């Protein structure tokens, strides 16, 4: 069975969490990079997948795919994750 937008949204949230854990584990590899490069890596690996997951959750709600609770959960989790890391990228020195 093919997962819908809500399932893919939750899958992207899981990917975002795994990427956060990997970035935390290998943070010492980022020490030699410039701050602009660190911000770009953080945006590409943490904000972009979570933002895409939030959009997929909204698409699931718009299309009425059936599992509304899963779509709302995906929107909330991905949205909060993306907003938090976006604020970290924007306000980090």
Nearest to 47 by CA among 72, 15, 92: 15
pTM of the model: 0.83
Alpha-carbon distance values, 15 to 10, 11, 24, 66, 70 (Å) = 9, 6, 14, 23, 16
Confidence of residue 41 (pLDDT cuts 50, 70, 90): confident
Please tell me whether residue 39 adopts helix, strand or coil conformation: helix
Domain-wise residue ranges, the chain: 35-93
**For 1-93, where are the alpha helices, taking DSSP H only?**
5-25, 35-42, 48-63, 68-91
pLDDT at 15: 93
Q: 71 or 81, which is more confident? A: 81
Judge contact between 87 and 42, C-beta under 8 A. Answer: no
């Amino acid at each position: 069975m093919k997962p819908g937008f809500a399932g893919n949204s939750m899958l992207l949230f899981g990917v975002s969490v795994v990427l956060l854990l990997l970035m935390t584990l290998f943070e010492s590899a980022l020490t030699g990079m410039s701050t602009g490069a660190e911000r770009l890596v953080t945006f590409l690996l943490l904000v972009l997948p979570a933002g895409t997951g939030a959009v997929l959750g909204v698409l699931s709600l718009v299309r009425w795919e059936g599992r509304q609770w899963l779509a709302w959960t995906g929107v909330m989790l991905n949205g909060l994750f993306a907003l938090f890391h976006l604020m970290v990228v924007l306000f980090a020195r």
